[in-house]
Amino acid sequence: MSGFNQRKQAHFNVFMRGAGHHSAAWKHPDSNPQDDLSLEYYAEIARIAERGLFDSLFMADNYSGLGRRLEPFTLLSALAALTKHVGFIATVSTTYNDPYHVARKFASLDHISKGRAAWNIVTGHSREDADNLSRPEHPDVSTRYEIGEEFVEITKQLWDSWEEDALIYDRDNDVAIDRSKVHEINFKGKHYQVKGPLNIPRPPQGYPVLVQAGSSEGGKELAAKTAEVIFTAQQTLGAAQQFYGDVKARLAKYGRKPEQLLIMPGLCPIVADTEAEARDIEDEFNALLNPKQALRRLSNYFTVDLTEYSLDDLVPVDKAKPYGSITSGITSRQEVVVDAAVRDKMTLRQFIARSAAGHGHVSFTGSVLQTADFIEKWLLENGADGFNILPHLYFSGFETFVDKVVPELQNRGLFRTAYEGKTLRDNLGLERPVNRNREVWAAAKEAQKQLANSSQA
């Protein structure tokens, strides 16, 4: 492709999920579904990611369901000891946690990894989460975002409760911590009251990188206010451009610049040397799908049971639930999935195949060059700042992307040839946040000094 600014660089995260992101990945003979509770399994994904100079690994999480999913902090802390460059993004809910615990855990992960931690901020998954955590109810969307904003503000204040030079280790005077540089935050809000300070020094990155996932109205506003990376799902370049422009335009009212938020749509690539080979791979995986099971899952977006229809019937889009009516899971995903069926006039057979790869994110099947063209177009026509890569199969699908697509993007000047720095912020091109309380504390100390001088006089 030509005619674009070649200086814009792509950023890549890899979404770690079981055997892969195609619904039938675990059934494929080359998959290793029995290993998805194995540290070595995820360590191999991390090694492939570092070989491909990826920015980060992402671990989703929730607190219900039958998924075999390791707890993110436990896994990512272990991976931090086995890697040097790649960052770690952990999903943690603001509805079903406490700000102090979350601030402490992320500060610990950032220290352990020497500045490679990131927090994917979600406001809660489902009613089942509430049932498992002794909560009387799953709050409505607006309440969850209200809680989320207060929660994030508290964690930032806790990370800022230590001044940068509070640790002095003065052996001669037997002083390890300058207690005048560690401060209570005394936060009192509608949902939380937190005294502070945190019992661990400020993270190496200042704050772990703040990530937001979702494309709802509340999600976009929370991202514009607090996030530095946003994971999203769009099926077309036009939709991606609209989302990109919308969210970037919201930043100014919070005193932020467009480059302070990276937008990374999900992408499930099925790649081979030729398009025909890639199509063969796609067909092979789709043949492993259980249509009835897929239709039962997709029926969640409709007022009817899709299993009662023929696979060759058109998707009954007139029976789709109103957008916003689904309150569990990623609520914005409903619109993405149903809009694709409306736009392309799909049969249920096509609907199943389209939804199987990437579970609502855009999928692309093609040659190495075609995949690079796709990424280049979205990147340089302001549909994305990079991508959240969802390999259809681990390990081979991910290795093909890393060993073939990444070099092609490097040849085009669209992707790094070496890591830019030591921290995740360095590699994402994000500034390290200054301690927001520094000037307040300096002013308070000066006032105390003047008061002391005046009393002596």
SS (H, E, C) 170-188: ECCCCEEECHHHECCCCEE
Predicted local distance difference test score (pLDDT) of residue 212: 93
Query: Annotation-wise, does 172 bind a ligand?
Result: no
Question: pTM, whole model, 2 decimals?
Answer: 0.90
Predicted local distance difference test score (pLDDT) of residue 457: 62
Residues linked to residue 320 through DSSP beta bridges, in sequence order: 302
Residues linked to residue 92 through DSSP beta bridges, in sequence order: 121
Q: Is the pLDDT of residue 1 over 80?
A: no
Mean pLDDT of the chain: 91
Does 447 or 301 have the greater pLDDT score? 301
| pLDDT above 90: percentage of residues in the chain | 73
DSSP codes, 368-391: HHHHHHHHHHHHHTTS-SEEEE--
Predicted local distance difference test score (pLDDT) of residue 169: 95
Instruction: Collect all residues with Cβ–Cβ distance below 8 Å to 410 and sequence separation of at least 6.
Output: 416, 417
CA dist 38 and 75 (Å) reads 9
Res. 288 pLDDT band, cuts 50 70 90: very high
Predicted local distance difference test score (pLDDT) of residue 216: 80
Q: Which helix (H) or strand (E) holds 322?
A: none
Q: Is the pLDDT of residue 453 over 80?
A: no
Mean pLDDT of 433-452: 76
Q: Is the pLDDT of residue 24 over 70?
A: yes
Predicted local distance difference test score (pLDDT) of residue 454: 74
Does 98 or 447 have the greater pLDDT score? 98
Predicted local distance difference test score (pLDDT) of residue 3: 38
Query: Annotation-wise, does 216 bind a ligand?
Result: yes
CA dist 438 and 248 (Å) reads 28
CB 286 within 8 A of CB 24: yes
Q: Whose CA is closest to 213, among 226, 232, 228?
A: 232
Q: Tell me: the pLDDT tens digits for 318-339? A: 988 886 555 555 555 577 778 8
Predicted local distance difference test score (pLDDT) of residue 227: 95
CA dist 323 and 50 (Å) reads 39
Query: Annotation-wise, does 215 bind a ligand?
Result: yes
Query: Annotation-wise, does 454 bind a ligand?
Result: no
Mean pLDDT of 198-221: 92
Res. 300 pLDDT band, cuts 50 70 90: confident
Q: Is the pLDDT of residue 4 over 70?
A: no
Q: Is the pLDDT of residue 147 over 60?
A: yes
> Torsion angle of alpha carbons 440, 443, 448, 450, nearest 10°?
-170
Q: Is the pLDDT of residue 373 over 50?
A: yes
Query: Annotation-wise, does 91 bind a ligand?
Result: yes
Please state which CATH number belongs to domain 11-276+362-456: 3.20.20.30
CB 88 within 8 A of CB 60: no
Predicted local distance difference test score (pLDDT) of residue 7: 67
**Backbone torsions φ then ψ of 288, nearest 5 degrees:** -85, -5
Does 136 or 50 have the greater pLDDT score? 50
Q: Is the pLDDT of residue 158 over 50?
A: yes
Mean pLDDT of 100-120: 98
Q: Is the pLDDT of residue 394 over 50?
A: yes
How many angstroms from the chain centroid is the CA of residue 318? 32
Q: Which helix (H) or strand (E) holds 238?
A: helix 237-250
**Cβ atoms < 10 Å from Cβ of 173:** 6
Q: Is the pLDDT of residue 307 over 90?
A: yes
> Torsion angle of alpha carbons 408, 411, 417, 420, nearest 10°?
-110
Predicted local distance difference test score (pLDDT) of residue 5: 42
Predicted local distance difference test score (pLDDT) of residue 244: 97
